[in-house]
Chains A and B, each alone.
Chain A
Amino acid sequence: EDQVTQSPEALRLQEGESSSLNCSYTVSGLRGLFWYRQDPGKGPEFLFTLYSAGEEKEKERLKATLTKKESFLHITAPKPEDSATYLCAVEGNAGNMLTFGGGTRLMVKP
């Protein structure tokens, strides 16, 4: 059974204070690891897909990296508008579905 664990559950940062969110996973043959951003009362917004260890992707202040056991979402000089819940999910060889972690709720104070 695929499993995804995200840490921390909640993270408070000051504006400009860089940090990283962790996503640890166990999966039977990783087909893809996905990062989403979710604002309160809205559906998840797609951010990145990572397919293999060593891969990195960037978008504005966000950078996602992947190893064989975990992924990090690095946030550089965050702004208040980066406040949201960040979700990590994996797809394994077992089936055509995503397994989600519990999410990290990020709060950036001005």
Chain B
Amino acid sequence: GAVVSQHPSWVICKSGTSVKIECRSLDFQATTMFWYRQFPKQSLMLMATSNEGSKATYEQGVEKDKFLINHASLTLSTLTVTSAHPEDSSFYICSARAEGAAYNEQFFGPGTRLTVL
């Protein structure tokens, strides 16, 4: 149980294009999903928290107009990197918290490697 998937697992795009990453909770409903960014040999950096049916809460320094987050259902959240540039190249990881969970036990997806040329 508690499986989270991400799609795609990797993507290469040209500078200026937009890329959408999907995060799905496969066997549970997730009221809250989180999006992280991870640079090589560094720990996870929280970008934003999304709750089903409401606007995402972005961490300080994260551009909400650049990183669009949609949490349309209890099993799906999407992150769209708009007008991507080489500095947006990174490993993006989502996590999900089960509906009704008393504590913040998050289950992570396998990550998406984004490379912007």
Chain A: residues with CB nearer than 8 A to chain B? 31-32, 34, 36, 41-46, 49, 51, 87, 91, 96-98, 100-103, 105
Contact = CB atoms under 8 A, between A and B. Distances in A.
A42 to B, nearest CB: 5
> Interface range on chain B: under 10, 10 to 19, 20 to 34, or 35 or more?
20 to 34
Contact of B2 (A31, A46, A51, A98): A46
A87 B106 CA distance: 13
Interface stretch (B13-21, B63-71, B76-84, B109-117): B109-117
Please classify the interface of chain B as helix (H, G, I), strand (E, B), loop, or mixed, using the class held by over half of its residues: strand
B57 to A, nearest CB: 9
Nearest to A42: B110
Interface string B63-99: 0000000000000000000000000000101010000
Given A96-B32, A100-B44, A41 B113 contact: yes
